[in-house]
Amino acid sequence: MAAAYNREACVPLPAAFLGGTAAAQPGLAEALDGQAPVSVRLNPYKPYLLPESAVAGPVAWAEEGEAFYLAERPVFTADPVFHGGAYYVQEAASMFTGWLLRRILPDLGGGELRVLDLCAAPGGKTTHIASVVGTRDVVVANEVIRPRAKILAENVQKWGSGNIAVTSNDPADFGERLPGFFDAVVVDAPCSGEGMFRKDHGARAEWSPENVLLCAARQRRIVSDVWDALRPGGVMIYSTCTFNAAEDEENVLWIADELGGEILDFGALPEGIVPGYGGGRAAGWHFFPHLVPGEGFFAAAICKNGSSVGTPAGRAKNNKGLPLLAKNDAAEIRRWVDGAAGPECFATGGDGMAYGFSQALYDTVGALLQGRFGLLYSGVQVGELIRGALKPAHALALYHGLERGTVNVAEVSDGAAMEYLRKGTSTALLPADSFAEGLNLVSCQGIALGWAKRIGNRYNNLYPANWRVLNY
């Protein structure tokens, strides 16, 4: 991994911000003009160890071995395993959502939980949530802005956990069409971005006290629109990457008092995290960059009032979903996926491709389709059945449950992997004889990157043209 760091042109911190939040937090303004740490979160489903020399230390609020600061910022696009979903480059403070979720899950009741990540692109929290919950739990990752939802769907496929459905809908669609459906809802709300002032000087330029109030009002609208989709007894995690009370504590107190919920507390926190207060009441937690290594972040957990109805055990199957595959087609696909962790059922998507799902995800997708949601991706796209034989999809290569014994695995060097990822066909870099005749899974450092086909001395690079890596 080669080092590089690009700093945007310097924009001074806004005067009203300096006189307000920054004045109340000595050391904050200086930290916002300093260097941002770089952190990554490893994919628990894909066996990969960061080079020891690259690691500066662990993220304190992550699980052991889960997330690390890097000694310097590499060119991630030049690292082949980054494209195989071995890790996600995620700002450290925002990994606190995973910390919260781990403490909330035991109280939500076991079984096939449904979690909605409402404002999900590009997918930092989605991929984290999908790793914290089980493979039989369901994550619906939604992003209202369509082009951003497409990036989210791509990142979901690279992560390869198989337990996510990606939608692109307005928050109100969930409240109106799926009442009481979710056990947990994560609202990582669009905000004024004070916590990103160090990394993103554009956020400094756009900031104003008026915009803070507009953001706070929009956040209340988003939360109230989605609130009905959370079941009573379920938990909302509300977060922003800003420091001000209007978007943080005041909104959390408003959710609890106006919509009806209890703000949760979890006792001892990792050092440096500052409890947020509103009118003397505890309301969430702040991450300040002068106190902990990370950008600014705020998060709170609110349990919706009411008895816990519709818990996982009592959920009905949804038989109005995607058409299930015939037994012999499903049997052909089962050869390609790991039996224990793999999908429980297979169905044909609207695009004519076969998809694999856990039963809970299949039922959720059925409910989303009945509710006329814009579904961009779900489960694992396994491929196309042609006269009873599977032509595997790219997403299957990236899926953690792929049965590697089904095809030849061509393990290649970093250099060859980059040639493959730019969709090159240079036989000098990718010598055809290192591939078996027919289909191969191209792998680098044990991380699958995609498919390639050898036909005699010819070599077909099957990496998706729209994903090819050109600049690195």
- State the catalytic residues: 241
**Least distance to ligand SAM, CB of residue 220, Å:** 11
Using CB under 6 A as the binding rule, whether residue 171 contacts ligand SAM is answered as: yes
Our finding on whether 188 is near ligand SAM (CB under 6 A) is yes
Options 44, 109, 111, 122; binder of ligand SAM; rule CB under 6 A? 122
Q: Does 190 bind ligand SAM (CB under 6 A)?
A: yes
**452: contact with ligand SAM by CB under 6 A:** no
The least CB distance from residue 145 to ligand SAM, in Å, is: 4
Contacts with ligand SAM by CB under 6 A: the residue count is 17
State in angstroms the smallest separation of the CB of 91 from ligand SAM: 8
**62 binds ligand SAM, rule: CB under 6 A:** no
If one asks whether residue 374 binds ligand SAM (CB under 6 A), the answer comes out as no
**Judged by CB under 6 A, which stretch of 115-123, 311-319, 352-360, 395-403 contacts ligand SAM?**
115-123
Residue 276 CB, nearest distance to ligand SAM (Å)?
18
Interacting span for ligand SAM (CB under 6 A) from 105-113, 140-148, 159-167, 284-292: 140-148
Q: Note whether 120 binds ligand SAM by CB under 6 A.
A: yes
Q: If binding is defined by CB under 6 A, does position 278 make contact with ligand SAM? A: no
Q: Tell me: does residue 222 bind ligand SAM (CB under 6 A).
A: yes
121 vs 430 by CB, closer to ligand SAM: 121
Residue 218 or 423 with smaller CB distance to ligand SAM: 218
Q: Which of 22, 144, 292, 395 binds ligand SAM (CB under 6 A)?
A: 144
Is 143 near ligand SAM (CB under 6 A)?
A: yes
125 binds ligand SAM (CB under 6 A): yes
Query: Per residue, what are the HEC states of the chain?
Result: CCECCCCCCCCCCCHHHHHHHHHHCCCHHHHHCCCCCEEEEECCCCCCCCCHHHEEEECCCCCCCCEEEECCCECHHHCHHHHCCCEEECCCHHHHHHHHHHHHHHHHCCCCCEEEECCCCCCHHHHHHHHHCCCCCEEEEECCCHHHHHHHHHHHHHHCCCCEEEECCCHHHHHHHCCCCEEEEEEECCCCCHHHCCCCHHHHHHCCHHHHHHHHHHHHHHHHHHHHHEEEEEEEEEEECCCCCCCCHHHHHHHHHHHHEEECCCCCCCCCCEEEEECCEEEEEEECCCCCCCCCEEEEEEEECCCCCCCHHHCCCCCCCCCECCHHHHHHHHCCECCCCCCCEEEECCCCCEEEECHHHHHHHHHHHHCCCCEEEECEEEEEEECCEEEECHHHHHCCCECHHHCEEEEECHHHHHHHHCCCCCCCCCCHHHCCCEEEEEEECCEEEEEEEEECCEEEECCCHHHCCCCC
98 lies in the site for ligand SAM, by CB under 6 A: no
**Least distance in angstroms from the C-beta of 378 to ligand SAM:** 19
Query: Does the protein bind ligand SAM through residue 286 (CB under 6 A)?
Result: no
| Cα(332)–Cα(404) distance, integer angstroms | 15
Q: Which stretch binds ligand SAM (CB under 6 A): 117-125, 266-274, 320-328, 389-397?
A: 117-125
Nearer to ligand SAM, 94 or 163 (CB): 94
Which chain residues interact with ligand SAM by CB under 6 A? 94, 119-125, 143-145, 148, 171, 188, 190, 218, 222
